[in-house]
């Protein structure tokens, strides 16, 4: 992209909202090749930062903006191109969501090509709640999922003013695929909750969607935010959103990797949902919405649209993330939950876990063993029963069982004592 561009005069045609509103828009038309003039931003009391975006018509691939607090001293020009998650509008381009210092009161814009009309949207995120609150998720049924849902900020926590309402008539979907995104926005912020509020405003008031597009979001500190929520149909996967859960890792990972806190919480969130739907994190499955056979944990760029999301530094991490999710379900969640549910479950060992064809079982200190059951998580169906194993250590073939999450249960002769752990089968 050329850095020396013809400057365009943008004449103000109208504005929406008063100075104290949290939202405003300026429509600019009659563009000429003359030097740009300053235009004031019709907002006051902005905190903790100013969020803005632009929608334009014409041939321009992007626009250049710059901002000023006093109309005399200007910040450097900023390029804004098309937003990777935006809805396609015939003849119009939705630009990226950007953040500026709250003190900015004026802006200028220029372009290298004809621009018939530009609508610049501004949003004041407003203050956070007095204290950051993180809600504990409801615990899952033991046989349904050994991994707890991570604690998260509900909508009422990240939008305390109550002006970010959910879709009043949401649609629901049976999730089969977990889609990872990045927001392609700044990697630092004065308030991540304010950034989430800005996403909501951008998706609803610029894109025209019914709600924020993602089901869940994760900030660099590892805090999870409720977007549309569990099993609600989102707006994030190339218009083929059915049977998907969209998770946005907040930040731009084109040239940097996410923080370890964000990656750890992404693993926890994906582990919870993968075992909740009884999905092998390393498997592939036909995604009926797109017609593509996709990894159960995929990136946005795996869909049918052209995008670099979730960024060139995060996307290559997905194979490792899938393996970490599988290991977390099998080796971390199942141990902690089994120990809580069954005091002696720590004496039952399975390896390898995750497994493919054969699992080795060691029942240390188990006396009066009557049977072993391999139970499919979620359905509770007993898929395999081995009566009265003769040794405390033995092998069990699982080659004929489908991939998924299973509960391996050992019961004593009288049936009073049950010991078990979770095992992930991969194919």
Domains of the chain: 9-123 (2.60.120), 155-328 (3.40.80.10), 342-425 (2.60.40.3080)
Q: What is the mean pLDDT of residues 61-69?
A: 92
Task: Give tens-digit pLDDT for 177-191.
Answer: 999 999 999 999 999
State the SS3 of the chain. CCCCCCCCEEEEEEEECCCCCCEEEEEEEEEECCCCCCEECCCCCCCCEEEEEEEEEECCCCEEEEEECCCCCECCCEEECECCCCCCECCEEEECCEEEECCCCEEEEECCCCEEEEEEEEECCCCCCCCCCCECCCCCCCCCCCCCCCCEECHHHHCCCCCCCCCCCCCECCCCEEEEEECCCCCCCCCHHHHHHHHHHHHHHHCCCCCCCCCEEECCCCCEEECCCCCECCCCCCCCCCCEEEEEECCCCCCCCCCHHHHHHHHHHHHHHHHHCCCCCCCEEEECCCCEEEECEEEHHHCCCCCCCCCCCCHHHHHHHHHHHHHHHHHHHHHHHHHHHCCCHHHEEEECCCECCEEEEEECCCCCEEEEEEEECCCCCEEEEEECCCCCEEEEECCCCCCEEEEEEEEECCCCCEEEEEEEECC
Q: What's the pLDDT band for 6 if we cut at 50, 70, 90?
A: very low
Q: At what angle do helices 260-276 and 318-327 cross, to 10 degrees?
A: 60
Q: Which of 35-39, 157-161, 338-342 has the highest mean pLDDT?
A: 157-161
**CA–CA separation, 331 and 94 (whole Å):** 45
The per-residue pLDDT for 7 is: 38
Residue with tokens 């629901």: 172
Position with higher pLDDT, 319 vs 351: 319
Q: How far is CA 86 from the centre of its chain?
A: 16
Residue 342 has pLDDT above 50, yes or no: no
**CA–CA separation, 324 and 267 (whole Å):** 7
Question: CB pairs under 8 A, 24+ apart, for 331-340?
Answer: 332/147, 333/146, 333/147, 333/148, 333/271, 333/275, 333/422, 334/146, 334/421, 334/422, 334/423, 335/421, 337/142, 337/146, 337/147, 337/148, 337/422, 338/146, 338/420, 338/421, 338/422
**CA–CA separation, 276 and 273 (whole Å):** 5
The per-residue pLDDT for 259 is: 96
The per-residue pLDDT for 394 is: 77
Q: What is the mean pLDDT of residues 109-137?
A: 83
The per-residue pLDDT for 142 is: 42
Residue 11 has pLDDT above 60, yes or no: no
Position with higher pLDDT, 362 vs 155: 155
The per-residue pLDDT for 145 is: 66
- How many CB atoms are located within 10 Å of the residue 76 CB? 7
Residue 20 has pLDDT above 70, yes or no: no
Q: What is the mean pLDDT of residues 95-108?
A: 95
Q: Using CB atoms within 10 Å of the CB of residue 331, give its burial: 0 to 12 exposed, 13 to 18 middle, 19+ buried.
A: middle
The per-residue pLDDT for 408 is: 74
Residue 138 has pLDDT above 90, yes or no: no
**CA–CA separation, 47 and 124 (whole Å):** 6
100 within 8 A of 53, measured Cβ to Cβ:
no
The per-residue pLDDT for 261 is: 96
Q: Is the dihedral of CA 220, 223, 226, 230 positive or negative?
A: positive
Q: Using CB atoms within 10 Å of the CB of residue 365, give its burial: 0 to 12 exposed, 13 to 18 middle, 19+ buried.
A: exposed
The per-residue pLDDT for 373 is: 73
């Amino acid at each position: 992209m050329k850095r020396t561009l013809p400057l365009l005069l943008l004449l103000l045609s109208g504005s929406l909202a008063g100075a104290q509103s949290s939202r405003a828009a300026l429509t600019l038309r009659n563009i000429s090749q003359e030097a740009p003039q300053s235009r004031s931003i019709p907002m006051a009391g902005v905190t903790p930062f100013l969020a803005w975006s632009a929608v334009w018509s014409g041939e321009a691939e992007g626009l250049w903006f710059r901002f000023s607090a006093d109309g005399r001293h200007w910040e450097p020009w900023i390029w804004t191109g098309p937003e990777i998650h935006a809805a396609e509008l015939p003849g119009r381009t939705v630009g990226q969501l950007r953040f500026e210092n709250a003190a900015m009161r004026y802006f200028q814009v220029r372009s290298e090509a004809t621009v018939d009309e530009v609508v610049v949207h501004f949003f004041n995120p407003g203050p956070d709640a007095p204290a950051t609150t993180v809600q504990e998720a409801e615990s899952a049924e033991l046989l349904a999922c050994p991994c707890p849902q991570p604690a998260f900020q509900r909508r009422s926590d990240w939008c305390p003013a109550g002006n970010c309402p959910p879709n009043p008539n949401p649609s629901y979907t049976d999730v089969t695929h977990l889609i990872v995104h990045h927001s392609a926005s700044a990697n630092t912020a004065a308030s991540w909750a304010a950034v989430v509020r800005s996403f909501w405003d951008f998706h609803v008031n610029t894109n025209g969607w019914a709600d924020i597009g993602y089901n869940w979001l994760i900030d660099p500190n590892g805090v999870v935010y409720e977007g549309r929520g569990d099993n609600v149909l989102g707006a994030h996967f190339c218009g083929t959103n059915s049977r998907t859960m969209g998770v946005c890792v907040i930040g731009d990972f084109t040239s940097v990797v996410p923080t370890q806190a964000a990656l750890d919480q992404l693993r926890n969130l994906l582990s919870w949902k993968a075992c909740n739907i009884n999905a092998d994190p390393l498997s592939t499955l036909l995604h009926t919405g797109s017609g593509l056979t996709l990894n159960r944990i995929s990136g946005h760029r795996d869909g049918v649209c052209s995008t670099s999301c979730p960024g060139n530094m995060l996307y290559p991490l997905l194979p490792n993330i899938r393996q970490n999710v599988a290991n977390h379900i099998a080796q971390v969640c199942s141990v902690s939950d089994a120990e809580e549910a069954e005091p002696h479950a720590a004496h039952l060992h399975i390896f390898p876990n995750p497994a493919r064809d054969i699992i080795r079982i060691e029942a240390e200190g188990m006396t009066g063993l009557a049977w072993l059951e391999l139970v499919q998580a979620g359905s509770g169906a007993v898929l395999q029963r081995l009566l009265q194993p003769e040794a405390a250590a033995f092998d069990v073939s699982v080659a004929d069982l489908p991939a998924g999450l299973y509960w391996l249960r050992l019961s004593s002769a009288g049936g009073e004592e049950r010991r078990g752990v979770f095992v992930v089968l991969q194919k």
